[in-house]
Amino acid sequence: MFPELNVPVSTLRGVGAKREDLLCEVGISTVADLLLFLPYRYIDRSRQSPIAVLPVDAEVTAVAPVRSGNVVPGRRPRFVLVLEDESGILECVWFSGHRYLRRAFASGDLLAVGGKLTRFGGKRQMVHPDVEVISDNEEGTRVHTGRVIPVYSTTARMKAERLSSRALRRVIYQALEEVRLPEPLPEPMRARLGALPLGDAVRKLHFPDERQDIEAARRRLAFDELLYFQLRLRLLQAVRFEKPGPSMSLAGPLNSRMLAALPFEPTGAQRRALSEIGEDLADGRPMRRLLQGDVGSGKTLVATAAMLSAVDAGAQAALMAPTEILAQQHAETVRALAAPLGLVVACLTGRQSQRERREILQGLAWGRVHLAVGTHALLQEDVVFARLGLAVVDEQHRFGVLQRAALLEKEGGAHLLVMTATPIPRSLALTLYGDLEVTVLDELPPGRQPVKTGWRAAPDREKAYRFLHEQVSAGGQAYIVFPVIEDSGARDIRAAATAFEELRDGILSGLRLGLLHGRLPPAEKEAVMTAFRRGSLDVLVSTTVIEVGVDVPRATVMMVENAERFGLAQLHQLRGRVGRGAAGSYCILIANPEGDLSPDARARLEAMAATGDGFEIAEMDLKIRGPGQIFGTRQAGYPEFRFADLTRDVDLVRSAREEAAELLDRDPNLERHDVLRRRVESVNLEGPSALAG
Binding site for ligand ADP (CB under 6 A): 264-267, 270, 293, 295-301, 421, 445, 549, 551, 553, 580
Query: Per CB under 5 A, which region of 105-113, 239-247, 407-415, 549-557 contacts Mg ion?
Result: 549-557
Between residues 322 and 549, which has the closer beta carbon with respect to Mg ion? 549
Size of the site for Mg ion (CB under 5 A): 1
> 53 — phi, psi (to 5°)?
-105, 5
To 10 degrees, the CA torsion angle through 114, 118, 120, 125?
10
- Partner from ligand ADP, Mg ion, none contacting 270, C-beta within 5 to 8 A by type: ligand ADP
Comparing CA positions, the residue from 471, 458, 688, 444 lying closest to residue 589 is: 458
- Partner from Mg ion, ligand ADP, none contacting 628, C-beta within 5 to 8 A by type: none
Residue in the shown chain whose Cβ atom is closest to ligand ADP: 298
Output the 3-class SS for 236-297. Answer: HHHHHHCCCCCCCCCCCHHHHHHHHHCCCCCCHHHHHHHHHHHHHHHCCCCCEEEEEECCCC
Between residues 117 and 417, which has the closer beta carbon with respect to ligand ADP? 417
CA distance 315 to 321: 20
CB of 552 to ligand ADP, least distance (A): 8
Between residues 198 and 546, which has the closer beta carbon with respect to ligand ADP? 546
CA distance 330 to 393: 12
CB of 551 to ligand ADP, least distance (A): 4
423 scored as a contact of Mg ion (CB under 5 A)? no
- In three-state secondary structure terms, 205 is helix
Query: Per CB under 5 A, which region of 251-259, 527-535, 548-556, 623-631 contacts Mg ion?
Result: 548-556
CA distance 64 to 522: 75
Between residues 483 and 549, which has the closer beta carbon with respect to Mg ion? 549
CB of 329 to ligand ADP, least distance (A): 8
CB of 474 to Mg ion, least distance (A): 26
- Partner from ligand ADP, Mg ion, none contacting 208, C-beta within 5 to 8 A by type: none
CB of 580 to ligand ADP, least distance (A): 5
Amino acid at 587: C
The answer to whether the beta carbons of residues 586 and 454 sit under 8 Å apart is yes
Between residues 334 and 653, which has the closer beta carbon with respect to ligand ADP? 334
CB of 419 to ligand ADP, least distance (A): 7
549 scored as a contact of Mg ion (CB under 5 A)? yes
Give one DSSP letter per residue of 13-70, joined into a string: TT--HHHHHHHHTTT--BHHHHHT---SEEEE---B--GGGSPTTSEEEEEEEEEEEE
CB of 677 to ligand ADP, least distance (A): 39
Between residues 475 and 506, which has the closer beta carbon with respect to ligand ADP? 475
Q: Which residues of 260-298 are buried (b: 16+ CB within 10 A; e: fewer)?
A: eeeeeebbebbebbbebbbebbeeeebbbbbbbbbbbbb
DSSP structural state of residue 378: G
Between residues 549 and 612, which has the closer beta carbon with respect to Mg ion? 549
User: Per-residue x/- marks for Mg ion, 508-547, CB under 5 A?
Assistant: ----------------------------------------
To 10 degrees, the CA torsion angle through 42, 45, 46, 51?
160
- Partner from ligand ADP, Mg ion, none contacting 296, C-beta within 5 to 8 A by type: ligand ADP
The count of other CB atoms within 10 Å of the CB of residue 131 is: 21
The answer to whether the beta carbons of residues 549 and 421 sit under 8 Å apart is yes
CB of 618 to Mg ion, least distance (A): 17
The count of other CB atoms within 10 Å of the CB of residue 499 is: 18
CB of 556 to ligand ADP, least distance (A): 14
Give the footprint of Mg ion on this chain (CB under 5 A): 549
